[in-house]
Amino acid sequence: MDLALGLPAFSQRSLASWMLELFRTQVHVTYQQPLPAHEGCLLVVSGHRSFLDAPVLLWGMGRPIRLVCHHYLGQVPLVNELVRQLGGFHMGPQGQGWSQLFARAAGFLQAGTHVAIFPEGAQLITTASRPAQVARFRRGFAHLALRSGIVGLPVVPVAIVSRREASGPLVPLRLLSLFDQSEPMFQRSGWHPYVVYEQVELRVGSPRRLVADEFERYRSGEAAAVTAALASEMEQAARQLTASGATHPW
């Protein structure tokens, strides 16, 4: 136990399991098809409405995953250690350090380590949202994928579908500027909500492999078009997974 940091030391999956037990969150996992096994890495792209998304994803996928996180999570005492033990790594403030982030993520992927990212960013987690809501997918994950250089990299869309939850206001958004003054959303009025899943389904979509032509187009001046297309495709996959989860019982 590492008391100097204020948190006991856990394995990644043990910590995820402990958090889910702490909040009495029941998780059901559904796969559209079996994920590729014994062939290297996955890039997982997931919806994001709750602080419990990370433990749900880690526990449900059942494999070690490194998580791309928002910068301010690394600035909050105790939370930063929690994020570290969950496998999180992050860029610099206000989006600085994308190149370093891409390089680090590529290193994990090339070494066979799975990486997960929340392409919605903070759009839903910082505002009141509906259980079946999906926000626009930003293109950062697509740049990350295409800068990895891994032809055939499986990109896996994931939806986290809440069946029953508790929610409400947590802290004023402006209070969070104490931890990251460069973040524009922390200058807004209003409250950062909490969403605690009571019953939630992790719906894992079919892997979509990157092909050589996409890497070639990305390098030859069509980066904006290629990343926009991939982001749109994964967003649509997440919407379909979410909609089917919302209408079908476990």
Please choose, from the candidates 30, 17, 120, the residue with its C-alpha nearest in 3D space to the C-alpha of residue 68: 120
pLDDT of residue 2: 42
Q: How many domains does the chain have?
A: 1
More confident: 36 or 114: 114
DSSP for 173-184?
Answer: GGGGGGT-TT-G
Q: Are 206 and 234 in contact (CB under 8 A)?
A: no
Please choose, from the candidates 142, 139, 104, 146, the residue with its C-alpha nearest in 3D space to the C-alpha of residue 120: 139
Model confidence pLDDT, tens digit, residues 166-193: 999 888 877 777 776 766 777 778 887 8
| Residue 84 falls inside a structural domain | yes
Dihedrals φ, ψ of 232, to 5°? -65, -40
Q: What is the CATH number of the domain that holds 130?
A: 3.40.1130
DSSP, collapsed to helix, strand or coil, labels residue 29 as strand
| Residue 36 falls inside a structural domain | yes
| Residue 3 falls inside a structural domain | no
pLDDT of residue 7: 65
Model confidence pLDDT, tens digit, residues 78-109: 778 888 899 999 766 555 577 888 889 999 99
Q: Domain span at residue 104? A: 8-247
SS3 percent helix, strand, coil of the chain, rounded to 5, is 40, 25, 35
| Residue 125 falls inside a structural domain | yes
- pTM as predicted: 0.88
- Angle subtended at Cα 36 by Cα 20 and Cα 83, rounded to the nearest 5 degrees: 35
pLDDT of residue 228: 98
